[in-house]
Amino acid sequence: DAEVFLLGGVLQDSNVLVEIVPILEAESFYQERHQIIWNTILELYKINTPIDIVTLCSALDGVGKLQAVGGKDYIFQLMESVASAANAKWHAELIQKKAALRSLITSANKTIRSALDSSAEPEEIIQEAERDIMDLAEKRVRDSMRPAGAVVNDVLKSLENRKGGMTGCPTGFADLDRLTNGLQPSDLIILAGRPGMGKTAFALTLAANAAINFGKKVAFFSLEMGGEQLVQRILCSRAQIDMGKLRSGNLRAEDFHKIPQAAQPIINSSLYIDDNADLGIMELLSKTRSLKSKIGLDLVVVDYLQLMKTGKEENRAVAIGAISRGLKILAKDLKIPVIALAQLSRKAEEKGRERPQLSDLRESGSIEQDADMVWFVERSFYRSHNEEEKTKAQLLVAKHRNGSTADIDLTWIAEYTTFYDYVEEDNGGNFGFGSDDL
């Protein structure tokens, strides 16, 4: 019995608590008396009292619980159950795993009982089950404490494997890649902007750059646009064909030659598109984890956060906060960057506002708190209507938890519905597909 062996090991050598205290809570133990004993051990540990049979029995007796756990005889049995504390950490991890499985069983049974209730709404049952699973997933992320030395070794190994190159997923935008050194694993990036600024266009261009130019495995979840529309945009961008002409079919002969040439790299890439408009956070977690296990995954893009399915009766801010929390859990769990598009509140539209602010993120302050980076897409032509500014755009890096902020100049080509690295307008109209030259 892992619980008996663990408690006995602690009584043999309480120094093992340094390793196992971060792993276990009292609720992790199945037997109630073991929960009581563990809580008492923790109380002694907190006040730096030596832990042995005498001090433990005294502490249990002091709160009137010694007989409830089986008396002194049972405490002696625990200590005599193992020869040493050598395997205490292994037993602690096993106890935690079993506790997680019991929590899953409890959650599943609760869902079954709710489903058997004829008055219950299916949507409400699903949302409740999702919340339970999300809580378990969040706890699993919280419990992932490791010695700093182990983390250092991982970092050094990663740097060695990259041999001086970018440490993150490249975006294909040279200035952005210089600023970030690529999108970093476990980062949640919020891409926001006013309506019509080109959030989807920028995110799609970035995703295509990563997948096609750099061979990365990218999943793009679109809750607003269909898969065919997204692919049309990529084709227009890479073939440099007017989107309006493509939709109307009014193409020149040379355009028909450009399309297959632009299409083949897309076909050969590892860009995956999911256009389910009814996507919830748990379905997203399930799909991305499955994709990660099957083919690996380097980047996830979600367009957009506020369209994701939430509980019908939840406070909207609470619901959006749960989604942003889930996206951050996803990024940390899979160790990949996650980009989530987000709307801005109406305050961002007020006259006299030169640029959006972090407080403009719509419906929940949790979005800003969970984000490692926040980007705003801005096009000055949107307000000035000055033809000279028609192609000028900026990516405002308003938050960068692990680096500096910056305003990155970009070029916007409306006909191709895409962004490129900033270039002077007298370059003859030759735009690249994103830079890989740092």
Burial of 32 (0-12, 13-18, 19+ CB in 10 A): exposed
Q: What is the pLDDT of residue 438?
A: 36
Q: What is the pLDDT of residue 180?
A: 92
Q: What is the pLDDT of residue 435?
A: 46
Q: What is the pLDDT of residue 211?
A: 93
Q: What is the pLDDT of residue 159?
A: 60
DSSP string for 282-319: HHHHHHHHHHHHHH--SEEEEE-GGGSB--TTS-HHHH
Kindly provide the b/e burial profile for residues 328-360, where b requires at least 16 CB atoms within 10 angstroms of the residue's own CB: bbbbbbbebbbbbbbbbeeebeeeeeeebbbeb
pLDDT bracket for residue 115 (50, 70, 90): confident
Lookup: tokens for 195? 């309506």
Q: Is the pLDDT of residue 401 over 70?
A: yes
Instruction: Determine the average pLDDT of the residues in 107-120.
Output: 80
Q: 3-class DSSP state for residue 236?
A: helix
Looking up residue 209, the CATH number of its domain turns out to be 3.40.50.300
Looking up residue 23, the CATH number of its domain turns out to be 1.10.860.10
Last residue of a domain, one of 164, 194, 228: 164
Tell me what the pLDDT averaged over the chain comes to: 80
Domain membership flag for residue 437: no
- 205 and 267: one domain? yes
Last residue of a domain, one of 106, 134, 164: 164
- 287 and 408: one domain? yes
Q: What is the pLDDT of residue 183?
A: 94
Which among 87, 13, 108 is positioned nearest to 53, based on CA atoms? 13
**Nearby residues of 376 by Cβ (< 8 Å), 6 or more positions away:** 192, 193, 344, 355, 356, 395, 396, 398
Q: Is the pLDDT of residue 68 over 60?
A: yes
Q: Is the pLDDT of residue 437 over 50?
A: no
Q: Is 142:132 a contact under the CB 8 Å cutoff?
A: no
Domain membership flag for residue 137: yes
- Count of domains observed in the chain: 2
- 287 and 411: one domain? yes
Q: Is 202:378 a contact under the CB 8 Å cutoff?
A: no
Q: What is the pLDDT of residue 248?
A: 67
- 145 and 174: one domain? no
Higher pLDDT, 357 or 397: 397
**Nearby residues of 429 by Cβ (< 8 Å), 6 or more positions away:** none
Q: Is the pLDDT of residue 400 over 90?
A: yes
pLDDT digits (tens, 9 = 90+) for 8-43: 888 888 888 877 877 777 888 888 989 899 888 888
pLDDT digits (tens, 9 = 90+) for 405-430: 999 999 888 888 888 888 765 554 44
Last residue of a domain, one of 137, 164, 191: 164
What pTM, to 2 d.p., does this model score? 0.66
Q: 3-class DSSP state for residue 199?
A: helix
- 344 and 219: one domain? yes
- 129 and 227: one domain? no
- 177 and 102: one domain? no
- 338 and 226: one domain? yes
- 157 and 173: one domain? no
Higher pLDDT, 91 or 365: 91
Task: For residues 360 and 342, give the distance between their C-alpha atoms in angstroms, rounded to a whole number.
Answer: 10
Domain of 44?
1-164
Q: Percentage of the chain surpassing pLDDT 70?
A: 82
Task: For residues 432 and 202, give the distance between their C-alpha atoms in angstroms, rounded to a whole number.
Answer: 14
Higher pLDDT, 199 or 389: 199
pLDDT digits (tens, 9 = 90+) for 308-336: 876 554 577 777 887 888 899 889 888 99
Q: What is the pLDDT of residue 347?
A: 67
Taking the chain, what is the end-to-end CA distance rounded to the nearest angstrom? Answer: 57
Q: Is the pLDDT of residue 434 over 70?
A: no
Q: What is the pLDDT of residue 252?
A: 74
Most confident region among 172-186, 245-259, 309-323, 381-395 by mean pLDDT: 172-186
Domain membership flag for residue 68: yes
pLDDT digits (tens, 9 = 90+) for 127-145: 777 777 766 665 654 455 5
Distances in Å between the Cα of 188 and the Cα atoms of 141, 175, 308, 361, 395 are 15, 19, 16, 15, 17
Q: What is the pLDDT of residue 134?
A: 67
Angle CA 266–209–405, to nearest 5: 160
Q: Is the pLDDT of residue 369 over 50?
A: yes
- 59 and 85: one domain? yes
Burial of 84 (0-12, 13-18, 19+ CB in 10 A): exposed
pLDDT bracket for residue 303 (50, 70, 90): confident
pLDDT digits (tens, 9 = 90+) for 149-197: 556 666 666 666 555 567 899 999 999 999 999 999 999 999 998 888 8
Task: For residues 73 and 81, give the distance between their C-alpha atoms in angstroms, rounded to a whole number.
Answer: 12
